[in-house]
């Protein structure tokens, strides 16, 4: 068995990020071998300029698309979220922690459905604060979008960079979105 290929297969087939220990337990490989294979795989993907990368997020590893190629996925993959949900999610991410009641004032009645769906999808968590929820993004949010960090400052930079490169949707003037 090719040990590096076994680690690559584990990353490819996992819908979630994996710790070295998890890869080791599931493949039967020693943790040192897994670490070495991860290092080699990351280098190989980087050297050949692949659209795929092995990302390290905290102590977890995940095979994912490089952020600069994310625009192409929309042409082939079915969207999991509506545009409105994405705007709600980006508003939460940029302004976090944000109260759901504040979000309601800017996003309107759809906020409650969007937040409920985003919590179910695991992108947002809500902590009860008085009569409302305090909303923040989760580790899954950072993983899914390839941000590479869960720090609020890094998430804001990522959003700002994406906003500079974004084109307005058809019929939507630039800068139409209200912020909190």
Tell me the three state secondary structure of residue 54: strand
- In 3D space, the residue among 141, 166, 167 whose CA is nearest the CA of residue 155 turns out to be 141
Task: Give me the pLDDT at residue 143, please.
Answer: 82
User: What's the CATH fold of domain 83-165?
Assistant: Arc Repressor Mutant, subunit A (1.10.10)
Chunked in runs of 10, what are the mean pLDDT values of the chain (180 residues)? Answer: 92 88 95 96 93 87 82 64 86 92 86 88 91 91 82 86 62 42
**What gap in Å lies between CA 138 and CA 82, rounded to an integer?**
19
Task: Give me the pLDDT at residue 165, please.
Answer: 64
Matching fold, domains 3-70 and 83-165: yes
The domains of the chain are located at: 3-70, 83-165
Beta bridge pairs of residue 64: 53
Task: Give me the pLDDT at residue 173, please.
Answer: 44
Domain 3-70, second-level architecture:
Orthogonal Bundle (1.10)
Checking DSSP bridges between strand 60-65 and strand 18-19, what pairing results, if any? antiparallel
Give me the count of residues in the chain: 180
Checking DSSP bridges between strand 60-65 and strand 132-137, what pairing results, if any? unpaired
106 class by beta-carbon count within 10 Å (0-12 exposed, 13-18 middle, 19+ buried): middle
- Copy the structure tokens of residue 40: 């080699």
φ, ψ of residue 49 to 5 degrees: the values are 65, 35
The pTM assigned to this predicted structure is 0.54
- Copy the structure tokens of residue 56: 């390290």
**What gap in Å lies between CA 131 and CA 33, rounded to an integer?**
51
Task: Give me the pLDDT at residue 76, please.
Answer: 64
**What gap in Å lies between CA 136 and CA 29, rounded to an integer?**
37
């Amino acid at each position: 068995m090719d040990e590096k290929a076994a680690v690559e297969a584990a990353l490819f087939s996992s819908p979630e990020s994996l710790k070295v220990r998890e890869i080791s337990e599931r493949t039967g490989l020693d943790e040192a071998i897994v670490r070495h294979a991860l290092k080699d795989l990351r280098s190989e993907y980087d050297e050949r300029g692949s659209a795929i990368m092995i990302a390290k997020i905290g102590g977890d590893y995940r095979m994912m698309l490089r952020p600069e190629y994310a625009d192409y996925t929309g042409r082939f993959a079915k969207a999991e979220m509506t545009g409105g949900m994405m705007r709600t999610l980006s508003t939460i991410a940029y302004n976090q922690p944000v109260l759901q009641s504040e979000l309601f004032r800017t996003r309107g009645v759809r906020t409650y459905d969007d937040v409920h769906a985003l919590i179910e999808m695991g992108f947002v968590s809500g902590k009860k604060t008085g009569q409302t929820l305090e909303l923040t993004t989760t580790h899954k949010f950072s993983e899914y979008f390839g941000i590479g960090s869960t720090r609020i400052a890094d998430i804001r930079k990522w959003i700002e960079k994406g906003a500079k490169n974004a084109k307005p949707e058809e019929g939507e003037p630039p800068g139409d979105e209200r912020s909190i």
